[in-house]
Structure 1
Amino acid sequence: MKRDSKLSGILHVLLHMAETESAVTSELMARAMHTNPVVIRRILSGLRDAGFVRSEKGHGGGWKIARPLTEITLRDVYDSLGAPQLFSIGNRTESPECLVEQSVNAALGRALEEAKALLLDRFGTVTLAQLGEDFHARMLASGKTIDLEQSHAI
């Protein structure tokens, strides 16, 4: 089963945006992230609706972070995506007649709900500012610099 990397990709884009004072175009982000500008605009329009980014029109326009990174958590971004499925495992059937399968479903269901609650609680404690601090520490330790003009994997 294919992994859903949308949350990771959006966080990647947001952290790049946070590194520049000027507005960033969808085209520039798309080149860096190996995707289509339409994909970037679709993602960012959802984040705009949630109040995390804003768009500026005209010459020098593009996208900017609209709120301090300390006010945006992983949970906020996850929720702005429509709270996608967190786990790829699930029940073989949802309404089995077999009593064994009912027991299996009950046990898996409880465990997955507990794991989901734990993960979402953790997402709520991690801010984009913390991710940015970690990124800067890694950049300093590596001796590398960031350049949005360079390609990245989304």
Structure 2
Amino acid sequence: MGGLSANSRMSLAVHVLTWLAYDRRGTDKEVATSQRIASSVNTNPVIIRRCLGQLKDAGLVTVTHGRGGGWNLARAAQDITLLDVYRSLPDEPVFGMHASTPDAECYVGAGIQSALSDVYQEATEALCRSLRETTLADVLRMTLASQAVTAGTP
């Protein structure tokens, strides 16, 4: 999903999957196309197709071609964690290091990357533990609850 930051790629992927979880409920369903999903995300269907391709490669979605086809979750929303989604994205660190190498003659520059590397590794592990505890079903439930509050529904 070129051009998007790692953070927005994660948000995009979760949005797409949550939309599918919501849309695929019930029996009378329209085809889940990239165009319909793009409408919810308010972006170009090409970006959605790119995202769906990565999610398909990761085994999180399936596609059926032809009349009546479309995109579906590969397994139930309660069986897909946000960690699964995170791992479906290109392997980029959550926190990046400096674009240029710090001055090795400087007291701070000489050791900052090593110090930050340890802190960032610990933070990434904590993030993964948290993402493992939240499913798409949880996100959908929170999303719908948020809508009810926003609309003033009890």
* TM-score, length-scaled by structure 1: 0.79
Question: Structure 1 residues 87 and 144 mapped into 2: Cα distance closer, same or farther (>3 Å)?
Answer: farther
Runs of at least 4 residues of structure 1 off by over 6 A?
A: none
Matched, 1:98 2:101: no
Q: Which runs of 5+ in 1 are unaligned?
A: 146-154
- Corresponding residue number in structure 1 for 2:15: 12
- Corresponding residue number in structure 2 for 1:148: none
- Corresponding residue number in structure 2 for 1:129: 137
1:5-28 per-position Cα deviation (integer Å, ceiling 9, x unaligned): 010011111111111233410112
Matched, 1:86 2:65: no
> What is the RMSD computed on CA atoms of the aligned residues?
2.4
Query: Contact conserved, 2:62 with 2:71, CA < 8 A, in 1?
Result: yes
- The percentage of counterpart residues that share the same residue type is 34
Whole-Å separation in 2 of the counterparts to 1:41 and 1:30:
9
For the residue of structure 2 that corresponds to 1:60, the secondary structure is coil
Whole-Å separation in 1 of the counterparts to 2:140 and 2:40:
18
Whole-Å separation in 1 of the counterparts to 2:112 and 2:119:
11
Query: Contact conserved, 1:78 with 1:84, CA < 8 A, in 2?
Result: no
1:106-125 alignment, distance < 5 Å: 106-125=114-133
Whole-Å separation in 2 of the counterparts to 1:83 and 1:144:
41
Higher relative contact order (CA 8 A, sep 6+): 1
* TM-score, length-scaled by structure 2: 0.79
Q: CA deviation at 1:96?
A: 5.2
